Amino acid sequence: VIKFRLLEDTYTKDEVEELINNMKDVVSGEVAGELMDVSHINVLLFTQLLSQAEKWHLRMKVDLSDVQNRELLEKVKIMEENENKSQPNPHRLEPLADNSSGSFELLKIEIERLKDENMRLEKQTVEYESKLNQLIEEKEKMALLLKAKEEEMTELKNETENLSPTNKNSEVETDSKNDSEQLLGEYEKVLTEQLRLELDSMRQEYLSVQSQLSLAEKELERKFNQTAAYNNMKMMIAKKNEQVKELRTQLQKYEKTSEPAPE
């Protein structure tokens, strides 16, 4: 309607005002629509940018102070003016290929980060293996020491039996036998108490070593649950647990045999 009315020869004042108002409404609607389209396009482009940044694990930071920087705004204005003065044919950017240099750089950075993480985990693995070997050596030393104490206890019992008096013909020998039995009884009590204290100390050390071994096994299991050496380490730990159970059984048997007999 407005297009046809603009072709008329004469206009009244009211008609001119009406035409101007109508043109204003049309221009306002067109400008609002264009701005809305530009806003939607910016949202879509920004969404794609954030998606690519999230894919490559990039850390992005927004500086709102640049929005109010007059110098930068003037540069943008000059860029727009130069773009409008350029050739009318639109210049389209070449699409980014999958093997672009930027993608290669990001992929290289990610690979380097994964290599560093792998080296760090391997170093921790070696450290935990070293600690585990030390704990196993300490456990073996404790087992040998426990065996030596058992042999010492057996020898002392044999010596005690050999020192028992056999001659009961005279009163002097009887008194000597009683004194010997008393001394042997006191000696056996002192020795039993000393061995009990040593056994308690050994038990505490054994429990401490076992606790450290358990913690090391749990830590190794957590670190190796995604590595190729996990199954081998798990089998080794299972064998060590069986050895610990056997050692505990021997310790319980030794405790039963080391208890003093009732008088």
**What's CA 11's distance to the chain center, in Å?**
83
- 31-35, 90-94, 215-219, 257-261, range with the lowest pLDDT: 90-94
Hey, where are the domains in the chain?
1-44, 121-258
Task: Please report the pLDDT score of residue 37 as a whole number.
Answer: 92
Task: Please report the pLDDT score of residue 240 as a whole number.
Answer: 80
Confidence bin at 63 (pLDDT 50/70/90) = confident
Asked whether residue 174 carries a pLDDT value surpassing 70, the answer given is no
Cα(28)–Cα(32) distance, rounded to whole angstroms? 6
User: Is pLDDT larger for residue 91 or for residue 241?
Assistant: 241
Cα dist from 136 to 61, 79, 143, 217, whole Å: 51, 73, 11, 11
User: What does pLDDT average to over the chain?
Assistant: 75
84 token code pair? 């409008």
CA dihedral 214, 218, 221, 222 (to 10 degrees): -170
Task: Please report the pLDDT score of residue 99 as a whole number.
Answer: 47
Sign of CA dihedral 79, 81, 85, 90: positive
Provide mean pLDDT across the span 93-120.
70
Task: Please report the pLDDT score of residue 93 as a whole number.
Answer: 52
- 49-58, 60-69, 98-107, range with the lowest pLDDT: 98-107
Asked whether residue 168 carries a pLDDT value surpassing 50, the answer given is no
pLDDT tens across 129-150, in order?
Answer: 888 888 888 888 888 888 888 8
Task: Please report the pLDDT score of residue 167 as a whole number.
Answer: 45
pTM, entire model: 0.29
User: Are 140 and 239 within 8 A, CB to CB?
Assistant: no
Confidence bin at 163 (pLDDT 50/70/90) = low
Q: Which of 23-37, 134-148, 226-240 has the highest mean pLDDT?
A: 23-37
User: Are 218 and 114 within 8 A, CB to CB?
Assistant: no
Cα(207)–Cα(211) distance, rounded to whole angstroms? 6
Buried b (16+ CB within 10 A) or exposed e, 139-169: beebbeebeebbeebeeeeeeeeeeeeeeee
pLDDT tens across 196-232, in order?
Answer: 777 777 777 777 777 777 777 677 666 656 565 566 6
Q: Which of 30-34, 76-80, 99-103, 122-126 has the highest mean pLDDT?
A: 30-34
User: Are 121 and 184 within 8 A, CB to CB?
Assistant: no
Asked whether residue 66 carries a pLDDT value surpassing 90, the answer given is no
User: Is pLDDT larger for residue 106 or for residue 227?
Assistant: 106
